[in-house]
Chains A and B, each alone.
Chain A
Amino acid sequence: ETGVTQTPRHLVMGMTNKKSLKCEQHLGHNAMYWYKQSAKKPLELMFVYNFKEQTENNSVPSRFSPECPNSSHLFLHLHTLQPEDSALYLCASSQGGQGAYGYTFGSGTRLTVV
């Protein structure tokens, strides 16, 4: 257990479904991130939240909708996904000022879109 918990670990959804991924951290970190890792590709940063405010959206399609109700929780709402969206979705958190060594990743949600 890293201190960042992601649920569910595995998710299979149809293209017309709506589902949500959840990320929770109790490390006192103020920044939270969503990354996507497709097969044989590097991790891609999707969204960044700092003190609950979205600070980065790296041209992510609108079928992915993040939500950060507080500094401890981060959601990724999914709707009308495509099969190419199948990937490992990773959440991470960090404390401002600590640099990259302060990043803690969750174990990820393995998403399969059918």
Chain B
Amino acid sequence: DAKTTQPTSMDCAEGRAANLPCNHSTISGNEYVYWYRQIHSQGPQYIIHGLKNNETNEMASLIITEDRKSSTLILPHATLRDTAVYYCIVRVEAGGTSYGKLTFGQGTILTVHP
């Protein structure tokens, strides 16, 4: 699976958009970009994933550049509860009964302040 690079930490004001970048310059054509987050002392939680098109769900938006070498997770209106470690993970889609495993890096510590 391709390696990802994320900033160590970021700050965001409550109510503003939080834009979390991720570089994955060695991504290959069949690898997806996934985002998870981990609130303090809890298990990671899935946020969103995409291949090459931009994606949006009730939690966030994912913008993937045309060359797919980087992406940005956008939390449109950050709240204090969004304070967490955000992980960008690149991996191939598991097929059939194959499970596929998640490999976590250091992630970005996002702090949302009042």
Contacts and interface: CB of A to CB of B under 8 A. Distances in A.
B29 interface: no
Contacts of B107: 42
Contacts, number: 81
A101 B49 contact: yes
Interface string B85-114: 000010101111111111111110000000
A103 interface: yes
Given A42-B105, A42-B106, A42-B107, A99 B100 contact: yes
Contact of A30 (B91, B97, B103, B106): B97
Interface of B: 32, 34, 36, 41-46, 49, 89, 91, 93-107
Interface of A: 2, 4, 30-31, 33, 35, 42-43, 45, 48, 50-51, 55-56, 88, 90-92, 94, 96-101, 103-108, 110
